[in-house]
Amino acid sequence: TEPTRALPADTRRLGGLSPGCPCPAPPAPRPPPRAPRAAPALRRLFAHPLYRAAPPGPAEPLLGAREALRYYRRKAARWNRRHKLYREELNLTSPAAPLPLRPDASWLQFHLGISRDGLYPRSSPAVTRLLRDMQEFPIISADYSQDEKALLGACDCSQIVKPSGVHLKLVLRFQDFGKAMFKPMRQKREEETPEDFFYFVDFQRHNAEIAAFHLDRILDFRRVPPTVGRLINVTKEILEVTKNEVLQSVFFVSPASNVCFFAKCPYMCKTEYAVCGNPHLLEGSLSAFLPSLNLAPRLSIPNPWIRSYSFDGKEEWEVNPLYCNTVREIYPYSNSNRLLNIVDMAIFDFLTGNMDRHHYEMFTKFGDDGFLLHLDNARGFGRHSHDEISILAPLSQCCIIKRTTLLRLQLLAEPEYRLSDMMRESLLQDPLAPVLTEPHLLALDRRLQLILEAVGKCIDTFGEATVVANDTAQPQSPAADRAKLDT
């Protein structure tokens, strides 16, 4: 087999692969973005009274506009200074005008729209613009994510759960200073996760991140950051714009003349773990960054229903059906909406098939009753042929659910608003459509019925008044349009 060929160290300065590189000619221009498709079914869903009800109380914003603008202007000025010094070090004499920070930038408007009610309001024009901008805007820098930088190129190969490596992700910055987390394609859509795979060694899937955003929006949780698919030219939009020498050093050309790169970690520095363009273009998901932790601190909290990350171990909740009684005695699950939000998260993860929810995050500003962020969804949508009932343990063990969540689930089980139809139509708006294969879409309907059956068993056992928490006043709507509570 022909050995892999490393790219020359000065590849980026030469404006791409060197003349002696065996790669083909520069790739054809990226096809124009596909126009958004009409979505009549989604419009009908979002016009339903359940999706128009006002949230309880005022929409308390996460950020103050003036404080946020001052902070991001300082960061933009710092970036321009560093970029100027970097160009001087490379003896690049062509002028580079400082990039201005626009107050109307879609990512900034997205940050300012975060409130106690969710990451974005319903029908948010800022989110619509942000999805388009992440798809189209030029990329001006690329770097490893902070958690991969924290490894300092070292992995503990004695651990079962290997950090980094097959979960390679990059931070991309756009011309308007917006940032997104890029997760490259590692698995084809039609490939199912092998049944012998443990959930903690599964691949992360870029299309799962995209589908999770659309599902979260259809469920009206609005707790997944805006995510869109994009074809990335790994040479021009990563290698040529990165200032990280470590990232530059892990690019190489494969025997098939494709440009590839991998994470800098001794265990994973092997070409079989690399991601490769075709020969330069690579699919991936782009998830919008949340506000800086300096502006909006977040807590990362272990999930009470965390799984064992060993080959044979089990956690207490896996062997004790009364485990929820213990959780209810622990603050803050004893006197807040936190437990209801955990059940929401379990329902969301069950629909996607994500077994890897070991932690959850939330903004400290909103206190114990704030919503949980549904981050890192790339291990969902791996097996459409299997429904992992254990993910529903918070629901089946605690037998409690928000009234609004149940009403929307029942609505999405109706033929007119079938969940698979809503998802199919919503995902057609993404530039990488089709995002999910048909078996994954149909699995959503099957899993939704299992959720409603679990709620029905709880109601039969404890009664509706105990199981269904009236988290907000029932929206006023014609009786024919209301989802009924009887299951």
Question: Mean pLDDT throughout 444-454?
Answer: 98
Which among 1-15, 146-160, 193-207, 277-291 has the top mean pLDDT?
A: 277-291
Name beta bridge partners: 301.
360
pLDDT of residue 377: 94
Question: Mean pLDDT throughout 108-131?
Answer: 94
- pLDDT beyond 90 at 474: no
Which pLDDT band, with edges at 50, 70 and 90, does 100 fall under? Answer: confident
- pLDDT beyond 50 at 339: yes
Question: 222-244: per-residue pLDDT in tens?
Answer: 999 999 999 999 999 999 999 99
- Catalytic-residue membership of 356: yes
Binding-site positions for ATP: 183, 287-290, 361, 376
Binding-site positions for Mn(2+): 376
Specify the 3-state DSSP secondary structure of 427: helix
- pLDDT beyond 50 at 133: yes
pLDDT of residue 38: 60
- pLDDT beyond 90 at 467: yes
Question: Mean pLDDT throughout 291-319?
Answer: 88
DSSP string covering 433-471, please? ---S-HHHHHHHHHHHHHHHHHHHHHHHHH-HHHHEE--
Question: Mean pLDDT throughout 35-49?
Answer: 82
Question: Mean pLDDT throughout 443-462?
Answer: 98
CA distance 220 to 215: 9
Question: 57-85: per-residue pLDDT in tens?
Answer: 567 999 999 999 999 999 999 988 888 88
Among 44-48, 184-188, 461-465, the range scoring the smallest mean pLDDT is 184-188
CA distance 277 to 22: 14
Candidates 368, 306, 349, 308; CA nearest to 160 is 308
Question: Mean pLDDT throughout 254-265?
Answer: 84
pLDDT of residue 404: 95
Instruction: Report which of residues 463 and 166 the model is more confident about.
Output: 463
> What are the structure tokens assigned to 52, written together?
């128009």
- The percent of residues above 70 in pLDDT, for the chain, comes to 78
Among 12-21, 270-279, 328-337, the range scoring the smallest mean pLDDT is 12-21
Question: Mean pLDDT throughout 115-125?
Answer: 92
Of the residues 356, 430, 445, 460, only one is catalytic, namely 356
**Dihedral sign for Cα atoms in the order 363, 206, 318, 486:** positive
Question: Mean pLDDT throughout 192-221?
Answer: 81
What average pLDDT does the structure give for the chain? 83
Cα distances (Å, whole numbers) of residue 249 to 115, 278, 330: 41, 20, 49
pLDDT of residue 167: 61
Among 3-12, 182-191, 366-375, the range scoring the smallest mean pLDDT is 3-12
Instruction: Report which of residues 145 and 111 the model is more confident about.
Output: 111
Q: Determine contact, residues 106/133, Cβ cutoff 8 Å.
A: yes
Specify the 3-state DSSP secondary structure of 181: strand
pLDDT of residue 246: 86
Rg of the chain, C-alpha, whole Å: 23
- pLDDT beyond 70 at 283: yes
Q: What is the largest CA-CA distance in the chain?
A: 75
CA distance 485 to 291: 38
CA distance 82 to 85: 5
What does the domain layout of the chain look like in residue ranges?
Answer: 298-481
Binding-site positions: 183, 287-290, 361, 376
Question: 354-372: per-residue pLDDT in tens?
Answer: 988 989 999 999 999 899 9
